Chains A and B, each alone.
Chain A
Amino acid sequence: MRLSLDQVERELAKLWEQDAHSAGGSRTELMTLVALVSEPRLLERAQTVVSEVVKIHASRTIVAVWRDGDKPSITADVALHRPAGTAAVCGDAITLEAIGTAREWLPGNAERLALPDLPVCVWWVGDLPDYDDLFDRMVVGADVVVVNSGEMDLRDLEKLSSIATRSRGHYALADLTWIRLRTLQDLVARFFDDAEGQACIKDLQRITIEFAPRPDEQDAASTQAGLLFGWIAAVIDLSPEGVQWKRGDGWAEARLGGVSARFEAKARGDVRPGVITRIAFDAGKAHFEIARAEDPRVYTWSRDVPGVATPQHTLRVGAFEEPALLVRCLERPKRDRLLETSLLVGSSIVKSVAPRLTAPPPR
């Protein structure tokens, strides 16, 4: 049943009351999670994700979607989140549907429906539009804003970098693809935990990042690969200035100072497009490598530093599904300087091979 917005709180109160009556349920909620669904085809995905997230972070969820239409209006559906097989309610669910120009009214109405005194997380579901002020208006007053650079093009790293700069002091920007990279970052960091590993950093000559390309992708690297390299370059202090690129069929190579970074597209059907499948470092006679095994969730980690015994490791990476990533964003809702730096350095490096962004915006 579609409700008008003035009925939403009343209907939810009834549902909570019924729950308290039947199950004696208690109400604990940690935040309001607003999912802005940029395309109607993503609605079901967004609803599935938020219903998984509330199992871990009991919340009020507001999933907002917009469709074309002549008569501007916003209607709502309400329900309680009750995971299958359990009696306990873990939040309430509001779905807003905006028709036509009523899309512009979403920010104010979402704010009105947010729970008092609790953080608000805004999750933009899908690719960020280039020129749309809904995003800017929605993030006013948000505590955490979540995007997914994996759904964007390489050129969007620069846009994301400028969003990260604007977010300072206002909200914490989180990127699901960045969260996905954390395991790889940890595995890379392990190469250099001991003095022998750290001694190799100054000798780094070559970095290879292999990734699974998106169908028909023409970019020099995936956003995930660009972001990871941005992080590596920032850590080892490689200046993006004067970067020289070479490109071939399925590969691109950047040269920064004495270090070359090679991005190679390696088609692989069992992983998401854009994800990294192998990283290797060469530093003098030392070689470091992380590669996905046949099982795409298993990595082999190996290090060959002359004179230092290090056995190869096989490691399982955690669930990298969207709900798990979103939960991890919500666990540490604070400014992520490392993401900001990696976006800044990474987008500067790839800028010249993602030329579309340098074109002037349409008027």
Chain B
Amino acid sequence: MSLEENPFRVGLETERTSAPSVFVIFGASGDLTKRKLLPALYNLAVSRLLPPGFSIVGFSVTELTEEAFREQMHEGISKFSRRKPVDEAVWKDFASRLHYVSGSFGEAANFAKLREKLEELDRKNGTRGNRLYYLAIPPSLFPMVNDQLAKAGLVADPNDASKFSRIIVEKPFGHDLASGDALNADLHRVFAEKQIFRIDHYLGKETVQNLVALRFGNAIFEPIWNRNHIDHVQISVAEDIGVEGRGKFYEEAGTTRDIVQNHLLQLLMVAAMEPPVAFTADEVRDEKVKVLRALKPIVGSDVAKYTVRGQYGPGNYLGKPVPGYRQEENVSPTSNVETFVAMRLELDNWRFAGVPIYIRAGKRLTKRITEISVHFKDVPHALLMQDGSHIEPDVLAIRIQPDEGIGLRFVAKVPGPTMMLRPVTMDFRYGSTFGGSGPEAYERLILDAMHGDPTLFARADEVSAAWNLITPIHQAWAKEPPRPFPNYPAGTWGPKESADLIERDGRAWRRI
């Protein structure tokens, strides 16, 4: 019998429940665990969404007793949980499910130790061999952990209905097409695709899911969501902070790998995909990947024409001086790494042919904002503007963060005896309409992984298709002489070339 056969579940809100399992975190003493994973798991416990017997095992190189690990996690939860203060009654129960195994990932003996711990929890807590492995470690260590898990017999057969093993991996999913494919191939050596959950926390955000609701839950948008009505689309992922101590990582990644290859392209996919036949994992991901396949490749001389790179120099943040990228910790003083990128993309498909998609992402920009704006075409005939001036076209803006919401700009008549038109906005704000705070992206995604629902996770072919766009651009950039970086001061909207990229087409970046 399965959960679905529980007669007490019929008609309840919580029809979706997951089987008891052990959540193993590799890299448990790291920042991600303390800042995101444990607070998310704790909040799931507070919301009573963890199944009975659910246990957590932290695995890391750092020598720690279980007690010390629990203390560290309590500290992390106190600081980073969306619910404060810590509910001590829930914490006491939650802490009793927290365990720790220390050791390097390269030694089989440590995985034997892990296996013993997991078997003990199976006996004690009834977790029945169900495992979720979360790799909160650098991708270079994935193959090692993968191998050790397989050798220790810790990966269940994907077709075994009596138990499950799932692996959750964090970006970056490689650094180019070859390494991305190699990483996928390596994961596939041990895990079937349906056991792999590639997490991109943007997809766990309520507003990204609301974009699906906006497009496919309303009849008024879909008929105009095409080249006949849309002039162009802009997607901005702007951060006002710098690399914040992640200089070493950023030197290897840059904005294109850190933001564009994953978060930004995910937004593009959701904004541009065709309606899936069902809101199920493969149907949704099939449609998303078709968007990436339809992206016109940017290769050769087009790279210089359709892409812009930038790197911030010293400037200001909230009225205080801040260093340039090259002055950041663990960054080369001659670094050629981009902290800003803008591109002009096009989709070669029936719906969007000829509709440019301008994207930009960067650090130390004027403000922190992530937004998709759909700019509609001009009215065909300027009937109402007697002085021949231009009527501002309509814009639908979907704000992903912060201040999540949707705004529609349209024109209205200014009261008075003459026909004067003025753009006005109609604004829907999540916060003031629905109030409260929803679950964090990690809560939603971890819960989905526990349920075995990969709809909001990236599939292998999605990752490859994204690299397929990015890798030729990187290759072309690598052949160019070093750029005259820095080329924009911190606290501005990026280099001038970014404005030129869009102005060349007679358009401008939206003021956001």
Contacts and interface: CB of A to CB of B under 8 A. Distances in A.
Interface of A: 26, 28, 30, 55-58, 88, 90, 182-183, 185-195, 197-199, 201, 235-236, 293, 295, 298, 301, 303, 308-311, 313-318, 332, 336-338
Nearest to A317: B48
A189 B17 CA distance: 10
A216 to B, nearest CB: 33
Contact of B123 (A293, A309, A314): A309
Given A189-B14, A310-B52, 12 more contacts: A28-B427, A58-B435, A185-B12, A190-B52, A194-B1, A198-B6, A201-B7, A235-B8, A303-B52, A311-B125, A317-B48, A338-B10
Nearest to B430: A28
B11 interface: yes
A30 B53 contact: no
Contact of A309 (B7, B125, B428): B125
Nearest to A309: B126
B14 A311 contact: no
Given A28-B432, A56-B436, A198-B1, A314 B92 contact: yes
A303 to B, nearest CB: 7
7 contacts: A186-B48, A189-B9, A308-B126, A309-B53, A310-B126, A313-B52, A317-B48
Nearest to B9: A189
B51 interface: yes
B125 A188 contact: no
A186 B52 contact: no
B432 to A, nearest CB: 4
A26 B429 contact: yes
Q: Which of A194, A298, A315 has the most CB of B within 10 A?
A: A194
B446 to A, nearest CB: 18
A9 to B, nearest CB: 20
A90 to B, nearest CB: 6
B19 interface: yes
A329 B64 CA distance: 47
Nearest to B6: A192
B3 interface: yes
B350 interface: no
A314 B52 CA distance: 10
B426 interface: yes
A346 to B, nearest CB: 15
A194 to B, nearest CB: 7
Contact of B93 (A56, A197, A313): A313
A38 to B, nearest CB: 27
B383 interface: no
A234 B369 CA distance: 51
Given A313-B93, A316-B87, A193 B51 contact: yes
Contact of A337 (B1, B11, B47, B52): B11
Given A90-B435, A193-B51, A315 B7 contact: no
Contact of A57 (B12, B96, B124, B434): B434
A235 B52 contact: no
B90 interface: yes
B89 interface: yes
A193 B18 CA distance: 9
B377 to A, nearest CB: 26
B14 A28 contact: no
Given A182-B13, A293-B89, A316-B90, A311 B434 contact: no
A311 B432 contact: no
A174 B8 CA distance: 20
Contact of A188 (B8, B51, B87, B426): B8
Contacts of A235: 7-8, 10
Interface string B1-33: 111011111111110010100000000000000
Contacts of A193: 3, 6, 9, 17, 19, 51-52
B269 interface: no
A123 to B, nearest CB: 18
A56 B13 CA distance: 20
Contacts of A30: 433
B46 interface: yes
A56 B432 CA distance: 7
B6 to A, nearest CB: 5
B90 A28 contact: no
A185 B89 contact: no
B433 to A, nearest CB: 5
B93 A314 contact: yes
Contacts of B8: 185, 188-189, 191-192, 235
Given A28-B428, A235-B8, A55 B1 contact: no
